[in-house]
Amino acid sequence: MGSTLRIAWRNLWRNRRRTVLALAAIALSQALVLFYGGILRGYSGWTVEAITGPMLGHVQVHAAGWRRQRSMDAALAHLGRTLAALRRDPGVADAHARLYAPALAAAGEKGYGVVVLGVEPAAESGPAGLLRVTPALPAERRVLVGRPLATRMGLAAGDTIAIVGSGADGSLANDLFVVAGLIDTPVDLVNQMGVVMELGEAQGLFAMPDGAHEIVVHARQPDEARALAERLARLPELAGAEVLDWKRLEPALVALVRLIDQVWLFMLALVFIAAASGIANTMLMATYERIHELGMLLALGAAPRRIVAMVVAESLALGLTGALAGSVLGASIVAATRSTGIDLAAISRGAPRELSFAGLSVSMRIYPSLALDHLVQGVLAVLVTSIVASAWPAWRAARLEPQQALRA
């Protein structure tokens, strides 16, 4: 066996050009599969983040029935106590409240239908917040207005708008506010309809002391959102409230993401098959090319089994070397792009920097990441392909009459 391996390795370097070509083909295929798989992983995380990041969070709390009717008085009461209880849970990274109130806003004579959003500006200003990176929102009758809405209403920062709506108790909510700034958020609804104010101010305007309509919870472990939701629902402070994880809040989005994931998986399979057939082609050619030489060995009295073993060992050594080189190459490409990301907008020239996805706009930058299982699967697949692609022609050659093989 030892001698077979030695001979195989020596044979490999006898035809240097052929071996280098085969190695390059294998290494490139493996690198491609790894890189593509890395993009896929980055993409999948990207869509989930786009969905759960700014708008949904991982778990949401509402008063029972609010999601269906969105009626003002279906509110969560004792907000301070509830938030404190949520924040005590070890699985909760952060929890903050929002208030949603339909209202009319007017700068001049004409009124526009808007949604007043009462938020905790500090909590919403982070990368996973609704406001993303806009300047902090001061209280004192100041609001932020979505840029498209402001354009429609002809508003600029510093203008005063009147807001009229209905309070949770049925009273007429009305007051004047100064536009502190225009905002571009990742959420279409906020850009098109949103008048954002500080939560306490919204509570005062709409007669909802210590109340809100929604609590958004970000989990420390996003994968465990469902278990977290079930645990939080058992908190005594949340009795009677509806606690749902994002997958149950937006089943349609989840289905869409799954569909996209499947399309990408299918394409990964195609890349994989293309890579495997490239390797198989190289191996088949390399072995067929040597039928003459194998016939010579047969004529000299080599056992057919030994010949097959030798060719397969050669092919395995080639495949393994190529796969390892490819893994190193692929991993370095992923490592090189993982922190800066790949800007799809720059690649497809003229494409927008941001993409609107189910009412959420997401950056066109993807951050690939390396999956160990992709690497292992790639190496294994290369090895299997090398064995199959070399054993079959070697076996055929070994069964030939030496005379025939010599003439081939």
Applying CB under 8 A, which residues contact other proteins?
73, 106, 162-164, 166-172, 174-176, 207
3-class DSSP string for 128-152: CCCCCCCCCCCCCCEEEEEHHHHHH
Non-local (6+) Cβ contacts of 374 within 8 A are 33, 34, 37, 38
Minimum distance of other proteins from residue 210's CB (angstroms) = 13
Q: By C-alpha distance, which of 260, 358, 331, 400 is closest to 30?
A: 331
Tell me, rounded to whole angstroms, the distance of Cα 371 from its chain centroid: 13
Distance CA 140, CA 142 (A): 6
Residue 36 or 100 having the CB closest to other proteins = 100
CB of 104 to other proteins, least distance (A): 9
Q: How far is the CB of 161 from other proteins (least distance, A)?
A: 9
Minimum separation from the CB atom of position 172 to other proteins (A): 6
Query: Which residue lies nearer to other proteins by CB, 111 or 341?
Result: 111
223 three-state secondary structure: helix
Say how far apart CA 328 and CA 191 lie, in whole Å: 45
8 A C-beta contact, residue 225 and residue 245: yes
Answer for the pair 321, 15: CB distance below 8 angstroms, yes or no: no
Distances (CA, A) of 317 to 134, 185, 262, 274, 323: 57, 54, 34, 21, 10
For the CB of residue 209, give the shortest distance to other proteins in the complex, in Å.
Answer: 11
Q: Which is nearer to other proteins, 47 or 166 (CB)?
A: 166
Cβ contacts of 57 within 8 Å, gap of 6 or more: 128, 216, 217, 218, 246
